Amino acid sequence: LTGYEEAPAEIAKEAPPGKHYNPYFANGPWIGMPPPLSDGQVTFDDGAPDKVDDMARDVSAFLAWTAEPKMEERKSMGFATVIYLAVLAVLLYFVKQKIWAKVEH
């Protein structure tokens, strides 16, 4: 999203018509898709800056959330499970101490 830039002068002459320069593509730097984001594209009510880097971060966070909408629920369930197992381990330790206290070692 943020890899678009001006082509270096030595290769700008050989740019195919209608193509845009993005050096991060493996099959060559010329692609047909224009830059999807540009500065000033969005205005925020709170006056936050509307820079390409900020918008790219927002888009990436949104795509990560849509890929795993249950992630927050899963993480909270995992945390609750760890707490439960820790309490259970402590209780089992004390039960073991009480049961085996009378046995000579």
Query: Is 54 found in the same domain as 32?
Result: no
Residues of the chain with pLDDT under 50: none
pTM of the model: 0.58
What's the confidence (pLDDT) of residue 85? 99
Could you tell me if 57 and 43 lie in one domain? yes
- Give the C-alpha separation, 19 to 35, whole Å: 11
CA distances from 63 to 55, 60, 67 (A): 12, 5, 6
Q: Which domain holds residue 19?
A: 1-36
Cα(83)–Cα(87) distance, integer angstroms: 6
Kindly state whether residues 104 and 77 are assigned to the same domain. yes
Per-residue pLDDT tens for 79-99?
999 999 999 999 999 999 999
Verify that 63 and 84 share a domain, yes or no.
no
| 15 and 31 assigned to the same domain | yes
**Dist CA 7 CA 92 (whole Å):** 67
Among residues 73, 72, 77, 44, the alpha carbon closest in space to that of 58 is found at 44
Same domain? For 60 and 86 the reply is no
φ, ψ for residue 17, nearest 5 deg: -65, 135
Q: How many domains does the chain have?
A: 3
Supply the pLDDT for residue 87.
Answer: 99
